[in-house]
Amino acid sequence: DAGITQSPRHKVTETGTPVTLRCHQTENHRYMYWYRQDPGHGLRLIHYSYGVKDTDKGEVSDGYSVSRSKTEDFLLTLESATSSQTSVYFCAISASGGRQPQHFGDGTRLSIL
């Protein structure tokens, strides 16, 4: 199994608070992705990174920011969480983008009250 660790695995927080989710990989893969998964919507791309300090937006990036200061870590931050951001968040990694498999972490279940 690909070495991907997401933390925390579960979090409950209140509207308006900042939240940071962490994705850590031990595969030295160049590409890292953050998705959210909601019923009826499948997997939607939030942001992704194609190298240290190189990031780009996905389809649902509003309200989220990311940072990647080391190859192994990719952080997703909700600056001021809203109830609409309640979701399951998955991190994924890939050796070389869309033409190589993506391997997913176990997910973070985030509830914003």
Partner 1 sequence: QQPVQSPQAVILREGEDAVINCSSSKALYSVHWYRQKHGEAPVFLMILLKGGEQKGHEKISASFNEKKQQSSLYLTASQLSYSGTYFCGTERNQAGTALIFGKGTTLSVSS
- What minimum distance in Å lies between the beta carbon of 15 and partner 1? 26
Q: With respect to partner 1, which residue has the nearer C-beta, 101 or 113? A: 101
- What is the contact surface with partner 1 in residues (CB under 8 A)? 31, 33, 35, 40-45, 48, 50, 56, 58-59, 90, 97-107
- What minimum distance in Å lies between the beta carbon of 3 and partner 1? 13
- What minimum distance in Å lies between the beta carbon of 25 and partner 1? 14
Answer positive or negative: Cα dihedral of 97, 35, 61, 6. negative
Strands (E), 26-102: 31-38, 42-51, 54-57, 64-70, 73-78, 87-94
Coil/strand/helix, residue 102: coil
Q: Which two tokens stand for residue 113?
A: 């009250």
Q: With respect to partner 1, which residue has the nearer C-beta, 81 or 105? A: 105
Q: With respect to partner 1, which residue has the nearer C-beta, 59 or 79? A: 59
- What minimum distance in Å lies between the beta carbon of 57 and partner 1? 10
CB 68 within 8 A of CB 75: yes
